[in-house]
A and B are shown apart, each in its own frame.
Chain A
Amino acid sequence: MTILSATGVGVTYRSRNGAVEALSGISLDIAEGEVVVALGASGCGKSTLLGLYAGFAQPTVGQIAVDGVRVTGPGPDRAVVFQDDALMPWLSAQDNVAFGLQLQGIGRAERLAKARELLAQVGLEAFAGHAIQEMSGGMRQRVGLARALAVQPRFLLMDEPLGALDELTRERMQVLLLQLWQGSGKGIFLITHSIEEALFLATELVLMSPRPGRIVRRYRPGFSRRFLAGEPIRAIKGDPQFLAMREELAAAILSEENEHG
């Protein structure tokens, strides 16, 4: 099993007012087949951490590694899904999904066939030739997800992918994400503001706190496996155990804020 690991990672920025510690002492492994969710207020360094896993930036101390091999840059084994989709607006939905395959030099016919297959998996087979601007936020996110899946990554790094969506679309996307993840063996690192989303999706949940960004608590909720085993989503999200954990997390976030705000 492949593991994307952060070991003793810290990030310090130099700013006009001196050094600013954005992340401190982060050790967090993302194993294949796991959904690791980082939950925390803005400014807690979640996105910085995701950027390190992706290889967009290097940690000041510590190391990011895939199976012990140091990560020095971005690569298609760790595909990223962005909050504001970051699609190429001049390309159709299918050309966007095929973009990563185009980079690999795969012929147009072959890559578009693959793209349509992936669009079908995210429920957009009817929109393959559509322009991105004609699509809603939820549809764009599904295109972004399909684009990331097209390069067959071992890890999916998702930066608040559902943050801009309305409540109903958001829940549908959570379900879609779990269905795609089920049996894929992929490791997912997902950032969210939503306690409910974090609890529902995570196999491992880490609560992060700002100034400097660090992990303050770790949980292992098992609700996603219960959902995939057939339990209805409403029953899970209304389960007293789910609600109790939600309250516990909300209280934990509040107490962290009081301590450091």
Chain B
Amino acid sequence: MDKPQQGHAWATIGTLALLLALWWVVTASGLVAPLFLPGPGDVALRLVDLAQHGFVGATLLQHAGASLARVGLAMVFAVVTAIPVGMAMGLWTRVNAALDPLIEFYRPVPPLAYLPLIVIWFGIGEVTKVILITLAIFAPLAIATASGVRRVDPDRVRAARSLGASRDQVVWLVIFPSALPDILTGLRIALGVGWSTLVAAELVASTRGLGFMVQSASQMLVTDVVVAGIVVIAGIALVLELGLRWVERRFVGWARG
């Protein structure tokens, strides 16, 4: 896993400070009009306003909640389907031969390219969005699970069998825990894919959600809401990423190094 870059925090903070300063200079000096890029102060004030009064019929928390609920639901669906499917693909070459072409066929297609088809099938409601995100999450998670299962040290399996393990015991007490680091890495990647897909999906047909909020603001040329929305979307993605890294450290710390 990525080693925390201790002692280099100043470099990270430096870049952020520089960007912020540059942003402030070009806006405060009037070099860039607020219509194109509002200053950091305006965006911060707008964030507070969004939290208190909201925008296009919902507060910031309600927009974020709607987005998180969609991703959360899709994540649950994907986890309960993609992990067993990936396990089966990793365990049995025949299952892999049957499913791998299907997954590899749709995986590189951008979700927005098949969104219109899903809209035709399921309408423009919540179901469509959850299906879209589930599909986007499914492929990387199933592939990561299958490759994790395939990478299990065969001696570990032999050891368990010679100690008397049944086939089920080998799968659940040896192969699954061995593959768990790969599964969690897949989950982390999948969550990133899911979150970006979601925001894109909300641009198309929604009445609530962070993507919808940004899109509406863009149409009304309320640029400070657009920027504030982008900051919130990035912030949530960062929190999710850090949360899953914590889960990795906590549960599969043994796999590091």
Contact = CB atoms under 8 A, between A and B. Distances in A.
Contacts of A55: 162
SS of B interface (majority): helix
Contacts of A103: 160, 163-166, 169, 173
Interface in B35-62: none
Contacts, number: 66
A80 interface: yes
A56 B158 contact: yes
A108 B159 CA distance: 20
A76 B218 CA distance: 68
Interface string B173-196: 110011010000000000000000
A80 B162 contact: yes
Contacts of A104: 164
Contact of B162 (A54, A87, A102): A54
A50 B156 CA distance: 16
Contact of A90 (B160, B254, B257): B254
B155 interface: yes
Contacts of A222: none
A73 B161 CA distance: 9
Contacts of B156: 86-88
A147 B158 contact: no
Contact of B252 (A74, A75, A90, A131): A90
Contacts of B153: 86
Contacts of A148: 163
B16 interface: no
B255 interface: yes
A223 interface: no
Nearest to B169: A103
A80 B159 contact: yes
A194 to B, nearest CB: 21
Given A90-B252, A103-B173, A132-B254, A80 B158 contact: yes
Nearest to A84: B155
Contact of B158 (A86, A102, A151): A86
B177 A76 contact: no
A73 B165 CA distance: 11
A100 interface: yes
A133 interface: yes
A214 interface: no
A84 B155 CA distance: 9
Nearest to B251: A90
A90 B177 contact: yes
A185 B252 CA distance: 40
A9 interface: no
Contact of A89 (B164, B166, B255): B255
Contacts of B178: 88
7 contacts: A76-B162, A80-B162, A87-B159, A88-B156, A88-B177, A99-B163, A103-B160
